[in-house]
Amino acid sequence: MLKKVRVGVSAAACVLITFYFIDFAELMPHYFGWLARVQLLPALLSRGVLAVVVAWLLLTLAVGRVYCSSICPMGIFQDLVAWISRRAGKKRKRYRYRRPRVVVRVLALVVPMVLFWTGFPLLLGLLEPYSAYGRMVTAVFKPLYMAGNNLLEAFLSLFNHHALYRVGIFVQSLSALLVGLLTLAVIGALAWRYGRTWCNTFCPVGAVLGFLSKYSLFRVRLDADKCTRCGACAARCKAGCIDSKEKRVDGSRCVACFNCLDTCKFQALSFSLAARRRAGVGEAGVADASRRRFLLASAATAVAVPGALAAAPLKLVTGTTERRKQFPVAPPGAVSYEHLSSHCTSCHLCVSKCPSRVLKPAFMEYGLGGMMQPTVYYEKGFCNYNCTVCGDVCPNGAIHSLTTEQKQMTQIGHVVFVEELCVVITDGTSCGACSEHCPTQAVTMIPHRDGLTRPHVDTSICVGCGGCEYICPVRPLRAIYVEGHPVQAERAAFTEEEEKEVIIDDFGF
């Protein structure tokens, strides 16, 4: 019964959160964002839903790692891969007990967290399970889902049925695609061969919950008097935590999947209140030597890593010389580069949900530590003046949720006009596309010569939406572009707020 409940909850959670990432048609309303906000690390970083963190910690102390078994999408993904693996061969795969990699688990927890707190979030973002799954789904699965939609649309159109529509498919970022594919390959291969090895070796969330689960009230318990050391339970344990020879279960690595409960013919296994430990037999936690290694490794890492970072500080890498930008543009509501860096784990939910497709994973715009975090590019569109989606869906608090009025007053950058590149000046051609697509009148047209008008910019009322940059016909370097602000500001009010209906064609004229 426990296993059936766990499988049902896991399937529902995985399907819902996966579809929330790949849903390009917005069939799921944004209030389904709670699926991301109940994830442990996003809840911790957002600081606004600490009740979620406390609830997970208390639940782990009560019944073990149910978060890992039923809510974490990466854990459920590994279960799916392991399930397919067990049924792919002629013989059912048999797992076996593996000694805990205590030092690796400690380093996988302490090093990423220390680096994150010192301004280098890349490693934590790569290892944190929800964020890793989000990048994998956004970069790999979503394009496949969109391609499947287009194939089905083409097939249905043959029968004059137009319930679906064709969508454009493009790679948001080559680096994000490579990271997504690498994540899929590495974690998928480990799950195929060893089951939940990633969760119990490299996952920082698994390390924290594993430490707590050793002391949970209810957990899988092995009765040494009934156990015959047949090994049937160990063969089904994808966490590799049941040592049938020593008649013990490593509670720190048990992910509460309950696969083992119905395998024992002698009813030696049960999910119940922990029995009092006896020396030599029954349940046992991690050995005293392992505990000492844990503490020593934690202390050594906590001392060594900050010193190394202080000796070689990381500096912000500015934009490319080709685009002449000194600073990248961060999403509206990100507050500053520092705030974004201290909260974002690069789950790419904002990238996936951006309706204008202007959010992309950064490469080196924020420096090495900020790789994969969202930044704004205007090649495919501009930031809609009334759109607040990225802040609404962000589970980490890295992008603050803004009202429409707050968004319209937030200055994420300012416009820069390069006079020597403008077609009005270089070719004597009438244009004005940039002014037509400016929602705040930051770009206006003033008299030039021969009856022509040229752009004039007022940076104080610019919000940095990029409408002017996107629509500018000049190539390869555009005559007008948006320079990012390391700290976002509030634009000045302008005298006449006019609502404009912005219609985009190829070049706006």
Domains and their CATH numbers in the chain: 2-273 (no CATH), 337-490 (3.30.70.20)
DSSP class of residue 68 equals I
Is the separation of the CB atoms in 146 and 169 below 8 Å? yes
Distances (CA, A) of 159 to 150, 152, 153, 172: 15, 11, 10, 33
DSSP string computed for 347-383: --HHHHH-TT--EEE-SSTT-GGGTTSEEE--SS---
* pLDDT at res. 25: 87
Helix (H, G, I), strand (E, B) or coil at 321: coil
Is the separation of the CB atoms in 497 and 423 below 8 Å? no
Is the separation of the CB atoms in 272 and 221 below 8 Å? yes
* pLDDT at res. 302: 42
Task: Tell me the β-bridge partners of 126.
Answer: none
Half-sphere exposure of 39 (CA within 13 A, CB side): 31
What's the token pair of residue 354? Answer: 């951006």
DSSP class of residue 278 equals B
Q: Is the dihedral of CA 341, 342, 343, 347 positive or negative?
A: positive
Is the separation of the CB atoms in 103 and 15 below 8 Å? no
Instruction: Please confirm whether the linkage preceding 313 is cis (ω < 30° from 0).
Output: no
With residue 270 as reference, give the H or E element that holds it.
strand 269-273
d(CA 122, CA 157): 45
Q: What are the average pLDDT values for consecutive 10-residue runs of the chain, which has 509 residues?
A: 90 95 88 89 82 93 93 95 84 86 93 92 94 96 94 91 86 90 96 93 94 92 91 91 92 92 89 59 42 44 39 34 74 95 94 93 92 93 94 93 95 94 93 93 92 94 95 92 95 65 53
pTM over 0.75: yes
Half-sphere exposure of 295 (CA within 13 A, CB side): 6
Residues whose CB falls within 8 Å of the CB of residue 102, separated by 6 or more in sequence, listed in order: 286, 290, 293, 294, 297
- For the chain, state the CA radius of gyration: 27
Phi and psi at residue 8, to the nearest 5°: -65, -45
d(CA 338, CA 255): 35
* pLDDT at res. 495: 62
What's the token pair of residue 279? Answer: 């020396």
